[in-house]
Amino acid sequence: MYSHYFGFTELPFTIAPDPRYLYLSAQHREALANLLYGINCNGGFVLLTGDVGTGKTTVCRCLLEQLPVSTEVAFILNPKYGITELLEAICDELKIDYQHSRNRIKGYIDALNAHLLAAHARGVNTVLIIDEAQNLGLDVLEQIRLLTNLETSSQKLLQIILIGQPELLDKLARPELRQLDQRITARYHLNALTRAELDAYVSHRLAVGGSDAPLFSRAALRRLHRLTRGVPRMVNILCDRALLGAFVERRNKVGWRIVNQAAREVLGSRPRPMPVWRMALFSLFLLVLLLAGFLYPGGRDIAALVHLPGQETPAPAAMPAPVPEASVAPVSVPEVEPDLLVASLEPTAAGPAEGLTPASSEPMPSRSGPGDWHWPEGTDLAATEPMAYQALFRAWGIAYDPTSAPVVCRFARSHQLGCLLQPVDLDELLKLNQPAVVSLNNSVGQRFFATLLRIDTQTGVATLEVAGENREVDLAELRVWLNDRQLVLWRLPPGYQAPLRPEASSPLVGWLDQRFAQLQKRPPRALKGERYDEELQLLVLSFQHHYQLVTDAVVGPQTLIQLSALTEPDIPRLTATESEWE
């Protein structure tokens, strides 16, 4: 319903475990690495646990995409089986013929063993993955352990991955399953997303869905993390409902009020018990009042206000009759967000904007820091955000009018530009090496936006445009007052829709090979199709390692930004650096 309104190519917050939407946080990358290690270490069990909705199944499906073609997989999604039913399900997944028997399991084991030996002779590895393994009975878990006894003289024939909730750990800790627990060669527990990871997670799913716009305000993201406790599945559900709410209200951004409304619709209004600390504080307050009644003059009047059990409570004063809801006129309460885009702002010239000049009448020092940039109390500093976007588009040679295009990243897409909105620090911005809209604070807590235009690495000085005025600041000062979310524009390569993963096919492959050929001063390869093959993956891995990017062979915005900056001379840069990679 809201896809066209926000410019999505597909809904970004479905709860289906689509590997394209997998956000590889540090802990998800470690979980994936543990699964790959366990499969390649020839033997034993691999264990992946995590609370409900933390992304276990999605990580596992991402693993399936990275397994070589010489691997066959039996994936058991509903493990509420007895021993015979489980063996039948495994045989069905591996397409093994068997004779049905309710009382004897030898026939299933023999058929499975013969299949595994034949697969081993063909050079095929067999992997058994059991999801929701906490639902398995103790006798079934013991039978699964016995399956690892199917082996040759040199290696195990079956690799087993158990995926489950924390209750699985309790089962494996029982004495009767100690033999199985000792055979686990790799294990990892997935936790919920941190506050910073949630911001990057939401931005990632929006980008894969086709929109790089910062559709959630910072206040909304803070509230989202508090409501969901960082559980990805709940984040998806609330974000989907919040985007629908923003569409219904014709808003271009989701604020904290819309997130609260989405939570009420999804979670319902649940009474919450009073926290223990609050109950203790309330009891202490009552005790102080009672003591005041005996220790201080007039204190008895205060103590009389405290109603104790057994005392007669005076009748309350008569209250006016309640007014029926239908007769009450609705009251519109405007939502106030710290980073709301001011849609009514007129396009500004390059000079300082009226009302946004510094509070001090003295001339600003040439090297003052953001902490010294103060404005009079009550100044609408939210207006600095669209002004910063205007300056950023000017760096790209594009005139931007926030009144006609209030959704910044939709406007960028119409000019073949993407938006990268992530929690990055100054070092990450230096790696990206492109102008950015940055969020800053001053020493009195005022928050404002500026455009980082240039950095002189020799003198350690950055040039920013703040409210239409260029200012220089030392990099050390900039680090102190810089907030953790910045927006960078980058040129979209032809055919780019989503991050390119190994072995996938995309029109982006030809563009990638041409750019690497340009850097290596060689003619482009004669490609057969659009497959992201191993040779190109090795080039990407080498490039990512050289420029200190995440070395995973996935071609996403950060890799493309770095590659474009080195090969396209008309792209604005923070520093004039030359390529040193070959």
pLDDT of residue 343: 32
What stretch(es) of the chain map to CATH 3.40.50.300? 26-190
For the chain, list residues with pLDDT below 50: 270-274, 294-355, 357-366
Q: What is the DSSP letter of 388?
A: H
pLDDT of residue 409: 82
Partnered with residue 442 across adjacent β-strands are none
Q: What's the rounded Cα separation, in Å, for the pair 294 and 316?
A: 27
| Length of the chain counted residue by residue | 582
Q: What's the rounded Cα separation, in Å, for the pair 190 and 57?
A: 11
pLDDT of residue 450: 94
Nearest to 558 by CA among 410, 398, 419: 419
What stretches of 165-283 adopt beta strand conformation (E)?
Answer: 184-190
CATH number for region 26-190? 3.40.50.300
Coil, strand, or helix at residue 502? Answer: coil
pLDDT of residue 269: 55
pLDDT of residue 248: 87
Residue with tokens 């350690």: 460
Which residues are CB-neighbours of 215 under 8 A, at least 6 positions away? 6, 206, 243, 246, 252, 253, 254
Partnered with residue 451 across adjacent β-strands are 437, 465
pLDDT of residue 445: 86
What stretch(es) of the chain map to CATH 1.10.101.10? 493-582
pLDDT of residue 473: 92
Tokens of 323: 């007014």
Residue 249's alpha-carbon distances to 241, 253, 326, 574, in angstroms, are 12, 10, 22, 39
Q: What's the rounded Cα separation, in Å, for the pair 373 and 473?
A: 11
Q: Which contacts of 72-78 are long-range, i.e. CB under 8 A and separated by 24 or more positions?
A: 72/119, 72/124, 72/125, 72/126, 72/127, 73/126, 73/127, 73/128, 73/129, 74/126, 74/127, 74/128, 74/129, 75/129, 75/131, 76/128, 76/129, 76/130, 76/131, 77/131, 77/132, 78/132
pLDDT of residue 19: 65
pLDDT of residue 251: 84
Residue 380's alpha-carbon distances to 336, 449, 451, 528, in angstroms, are 12, 12, 18, 57
Q: Name the CATH architecture for the domain at 3-16+194-267.
A: Orthogonal Bundle (1.10)
What stretch(es) of the chain map to CATH 1.10.8.60? 3-16+194-267
Q: Name the CATH architecture for the domain at 370-491.
A: Alpha-Beta Complex (3.90)
Q: What is the DSSP letter of 98?
A: -
Tokens of 390: 């205007």
CATH 1.10.10.10 fits 493-582, yes or no: no
